[in-house]
């Protein structure tokens, strides 16, 4: 290769390394990548290695070339997966019909900015991206309640079981105590849709969302449960059943699961009514797991999504909303003594959040284990935004 072209390539590569290091704020990447470039491209060193390889036997030369290729490929793969994009295989039906079990999606980490030091809340930061997280983005994230896993029941949610079996002997047996603790990076990955962003005030009434006083725009792919009205003809009933994603009977009524798209396209609106829980019927398995909030899966809020740097007043009444943020996500010691709140041994009347938080839900509302059942998604758990579907399981 002519010297001028080689020097041009070296210059471009070095400038790229410098720009990458400034962006990632990682001096080690600059030192490491510059050293590699020096070994393989700078004049005298480059030719010394090249001449050395050429004097080796064909077999040894082949091994050396393969070693260089594997190292370079590994470094490129790690850099791509850490800072640019990754892949995720959908493992549940919570995002049907748009994303089905078995689909493979590309997860864009650059748009919102790749996150670093996700296992340390005090060092965590998100690098500058080319965009930002927006409402209704589909994201892939580490499951917030995945920090604790039962050794013999790895597919079960430890905290959900504790809530299900509260005050029962099951949670005191040896199996329930045999647990594994996982850092953020090792927790199960989920795919859901962003419903509310940091600072938003969210309300759900009869399964319909309101953010900051405005109705959430309808999603064509959103699945909900509906009751088929009794006073319609058999023919119309059969048409509805034909489009239903699922169907069953409850209290003598036919319940179907339909998407908004199918309802609007076929004019089903006057033939069905939504099957939802009534307002003020509390469910202790719905976040924040307190009957005093009177929330259920179809009716909850208002709830304000926490913002980094925001300070909130703490009371025993609102503490259930923030207790996991304070103790688990932001790693403080939270205690209640004599009806007073203590954080890290000091009595606290306020708390300032270290991170942004988000609220997510699945498009397949009847079959989605989402923020309704475990609360906020911390910023350091978010991997990236789903860019496109690469493989369709169908």
Report yes or no: 148 and 180 within 8 Å, Cβ to Cβ.
yes
User: What pLDDT is recorded for position 162?
Assistant: 83
Tokens of 197: 């962003």
Task: Give the residue with greater pLDDT, 164 vs 201.
Answer: 201
The structure tokens 């050396």 sit at 64
User: What pLDDT is recorded for position 46?
Assistant: 47
Task: Give the residue with greater pLDDT, 303 vs 171.
Answer: 303
Please give the span between the terminal C-alpha atoms of the chain, in angstroms, as a whole number.
49
Q: What are phi and psi of 379, to 5 degrees?
A: -60, -40
Tell me what percent of the residues of the chain surpass a pLDDT of 70: 79
Pairing mode, strands 179-181 and 148-150: antiparallel
Task: Give the residue with greater pLDDT, 275 vs 25.
Answer: 275
> Given a cut of 50, is residue 44 above it in pLDDT?
no
User: What pLDDT is recorded for position 82?
Assistant: 84
Mean pLDDT of 70-80: 74
Burial label, 340 (beta-carbon count in 10 A; 0-12, 13-18, 19+)? exposed
> Given a cut of 50, is residue 92 above it in pLDDT?
yes
Going across the sheet that includes 246-250, the strands are 246-250, 253-259, 223-228, 272-274
**40 secondary structure, DSSP code:** H
> Given a cut of 70, is residue 111 above it in pLDDT?
yes
> What is the residue extent of each domain of the chain?
223-274
pLDDT in tens, 118-168: 999 999 999 988 899 999 999 999 999 999 998 888 888 889 888 887 756
User: What pLDDT is recorded for position 173?
Assistant: 66
pLDDT in tens, 326-374: 999 999 999 999 999 999 999 999 999 999 999 999 999 999 999 999 9
- What pTM did the predictor assign? 0.86
- Per-residue pLDDT band for 60 (boundaries 50, 70, 90) equals low
Report yes or no: 6 and 44 within 8 Å, Cβ to Cβ.
no
Q: What average pLDDT does the structure give for the chain? A: 86
User: What pLDDT is recorded for position 163?
Assistant: 85
Mean pLDDT of 21-32: 60
Spatial separation of the C-alpha atoms in residues 346 and 366, rounded to whole Å: 42
Percentage helix, strand, coil for the chain under 3-state DSSP, each rounded to 5: 35, 25, 40
User: What pLDDT is recorded for position 4?
Assistant: 61
User: What pLDDT is recorded for position 156?
Assistant: 85
- Among 105-114, 138-147, 161-170, 377-386, which is the least confidently predicted range? 161-170
């Amino acid at each position: 290769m002519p010297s001028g072209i080689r020097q041009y390539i070296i210059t471009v590569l070095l400038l790229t390394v410098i720009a990458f290091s400034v962006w990632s704020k990682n001096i080690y990447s600059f030192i490491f990548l510059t050293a590699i470039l020096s070994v393989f491209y700078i004049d005298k060193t480059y030719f010394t290695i090249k001449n050395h390889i050429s004097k080796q036997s064909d077999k040894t030369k082949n091994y050396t070339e393969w070693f260089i290729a594997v190292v370079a490929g590994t470094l490129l793969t790690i850099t791509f997966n850490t800072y640019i994009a990754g892949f995720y295989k959908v493992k549940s039906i919570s995002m049907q019909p748009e994303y089905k079990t078995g689909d493979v999606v590309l997860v864009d980490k650059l748009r919102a900015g790749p996150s670093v030091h996700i296992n340390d809340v005090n060092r965590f930061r998100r690098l500058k991206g080319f965009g930002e997280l927006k409402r209704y983005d589909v994201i892939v994230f580490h499951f917030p309640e995945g920090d604790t896993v039962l050794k013999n029941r790895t597919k079960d949610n430890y905290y959900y079981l504790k809530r299900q079996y509260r005050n029962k002997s099951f949670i005191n047996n040896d199996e329930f105590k045999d647990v594994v603790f996982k850092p953020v990076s090792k927790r199960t990955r989920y795919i859901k849709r962003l419903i509310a962003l940091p600072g938003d005030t969210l309300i759900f009434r009869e399964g319909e969302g309101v953010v900051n006083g405005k109705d959430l725009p309808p999603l064509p792919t959103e699945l909900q449960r509906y009751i088929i009205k009794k006073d319609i003809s058999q023919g119309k009933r059969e048409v509805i059943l034909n489009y239903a994603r699922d169907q069953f009977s409850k209290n003598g009524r036919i319940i179907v699961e339909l998407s908004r798209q199918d309802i609007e396209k076929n004019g089903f609106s006057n033939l069905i009514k939504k099957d939802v829980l009534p307002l003020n019927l509390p469910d202790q398995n719905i976040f924040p797991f307190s009957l005093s909030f009177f929330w259920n899966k179809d009716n909850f809020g208002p709830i304000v999504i926490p913002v980094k740097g925001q300070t909130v007043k703490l009371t025993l009444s609102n503490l259930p909303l923030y207790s996991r943020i304070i103790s688990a996500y932001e790693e403080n010691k939270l205690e209640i003594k004599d009806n007073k709140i203590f954080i890290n041994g000091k009595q606290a009347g306020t708390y300032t959040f270290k991170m942004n938080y988000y609220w997510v839900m699945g498009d397949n509302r009847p079959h989605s284990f989402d923020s309704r059942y475990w609360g906020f998604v911390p910023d350091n758990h978010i991997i990236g935004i789903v860019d496109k579907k690469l493989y369709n399981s169908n």
